[in-house]
Amino acid sequence: MTRSAYEARLDRVLEHIHAHLDEDIGFETLAEVACLSPYHWHRIYAAMRGETITVTIRRLRLSRAAERLANSDMPLAAIAAQARYGSTDAFAHAFREAYGLAPAAYRAEGSHTAFKAANRAGDAAGFPIFVETLPAVRCAAMAHQGPYIDIDRAMGQLFAQLGVQGALPAAPQMMAAFFDDPDLVAVDRLQSQACVPVGEAAVVAPPLIDTFVRGGLYARLRYVGPYADMRDAYRWLFGVWLPGSGYTADDAPVLEAYRNDPRDTPPLALITDIHLPLVAS
């Protein structure tokens, strides 16, 4: 079997996990989805994807729980149950271990709360913005349709395909382009792309997309914290900073550049640069 065939089977596993994250997920079922030996498939997954399947599932479930804590009033017991924890105490222990705060404290004090407060106060100077001109960058991209919080699914597929095609850079930079407004477009129809800059000599073949990230003027907001928490940062950027900035948003996708790796970085230490395209004066 070729490496690309193995990657395709592991991609099916991740698709199944994302689709059933709020349900019980059995290892035997995942072996069947992968069409690989139940004795060996997990060793293959861990070796090729850089983390065990248990870590993948826990990380994704806690990320979804963090999003619900930050952006909803869902009771803690319901969030714990949907994350497949048998009790709120077990959920609280796992969440605190990963995020450094108990769930209730995270809801009240997490990185999202500063942006919520700035939105309420209309504080346009609450966070530093850097207006800068960026060069156009050639990228290999993987298309994604669905919730933006699930862009890591496309990112995993992108890295897997780049490895198969021999085009993975030595020090890959993770980026994503977001094409739709999540307040206007149904969540299952949101369009985005996971991107990795590649050199001019790299050969990019389907299912990857050979594309260029727009060069030009951008406003950059650095966000430190879990990816799931950035909704209020976006609302501040578009609704508070932009109207008073003197700039106009350009007709181009918002970009996110991920400065560290979620597989080995605590969620509260994740760094994301949000790039809002601007019309040059």
- Per-residue pLDDT of 37-91, as tens digits, reads 877 888 888 888 888 999 999 999 999 999 999 989 999 999 999 999 999 999 9
Q: What is residue 125's predicted lDDT score, i.e. its pLDDT? A: 93
Fold of 3-108: Arc Repressor Mutant, subunit A (1.10.10)
Q: How many CB atoms lie within 10 A of CB 96?
A: 14
pLDDT higher for 281 or 41?
41
* Single-letter residue type at 17: I
pLDDT of the residue at 12: 87
What letter would DSSP give residue 86? Answer: S
Supply the pLDDT for residue 35: 82
Q: Is the pLDDT of residue 127 over 90?
A: yes
Higher pLDDT, 125 or 33: 125
Task: Name the residue among 278, 176, 275, 276 with its Cα closest to residue 217.
Answer: 278
**What was the pLDDT predicted at 222?**
97
pLDDT value for 197: 96
Q: What single DSSP character describes residue 215? A: P
What is the model's pLDDT at position 180? 93
**What average pLDDT does the chain have?**
92
pLDDT for residue 4 is more than 80: no
Query: At the topology level of CATH, where does 130-277 sit?
Result: Multidrug-efflux Transporter 1 Regulator Bmrr; Chain A (3.20.80)
Residues 226-268: tens digit of each pLDDT: 998 899 999 999 999 999 999 999 999 999 999 998 888 989 9
CA distance 123 to 129: 13
Q: If you average pLDDT over each of 16-20, 22-26, 191-195, which comes out highest?
A: 191-195
Residue 263: predicted pLDDT: 80
Paired strand residues for 177: 193, 255
Cβ atoms 227, 63 nearer than 8 A: yes
Predicted local confidence at residue 245, as pLDDT:
95
Phi, psi of 262 (to 5 degrees): -65, -15
The pLDDT, as a whole number, for residue 19 is: 86
At 172-201, the pLDDT tens digits run 999 999 999 988 999 999 999 999 999 888
**Domain coordinates of the chain in residue numbers?**
3-108, 130-277
Percent of the chain beyond pLDDT 90?
67
- 31 falls in which pLDDT band (50, 70, 90)? confident
Q: What is the pLDDT of residue 279?
A: 95
Q: Determine the Cα–Cα distance for residues 162 and 140; give it in Å rounded to an integer.
A: 8
Across the range 108-113, mean pLDDT stands at: 91
- Say what the pLDDT of residue 174 is: 96
